[in-house]
Amino acid sequence: MKQSEKAVLHLLLETHMREIGLQFAREHRFCPPRRWKLDYLITNCDAKLGAVAVEIEGGTGYHKNPKGEVIRGGRHNHEQGYEDDCVKYSTAAIMGYRVLRFTSRQVRFGEAREFLLRHVVISDA
């Protein structure tokens, strides 16, 4: 995924989260000394949910290059990238994070917004 497309998707998701009343921190670092970041940490969700994080999984699809050859998307479709993500998300789970993962298509078509609206309860505090 190109940086410009990634920026647009993040801006769209941020807009959606604000529309439904979610507050968030961008690029939340966790598990020092690892350099891992979660795209977003929801900061006003109900404590019963625990720490809720949101990730946009770019590069999950296929496209054609200029030669017409079918090319897999980004690092998430390659074995090492996928395995690295498995370790990151498993570690986040052990540390108490609930990581909600959405594809770029789900963000683009509002499916991520609808999921968050239905399932993430905002704290009264």
The number of distinct structural domains making up the chain is 1
Q: Which of 36, 32, 51, 48 is nearest to 98 (CA)?
A: 51
Enclosing domain of residue 15: 3-119
CATH number of the domain within which 11 lies = 3.40.960.10
What does the pLDDT look like over 13-62, one tens digit per residue?
A: 999 999 999 999 999 999 999 999 999 999 999 888 889 999 999 765 55
125 domain residue, yes or no: no
Q: Which of 42, 39, 38, 41 is nearest to 6 (CA)?
A: 39
Give the percent of the chain with pLDDT over 90: 67
pTM score, whole prediction: 0.82
55 domain residue, yes or no: yes
What does the pLDDT look like over 89-114, one tens digit per residue?
A: 999 999 999 999 999 999 999 999 99
Cβ neighbours for 47, distance < 8 A, ≥ 6 positions apart:
123
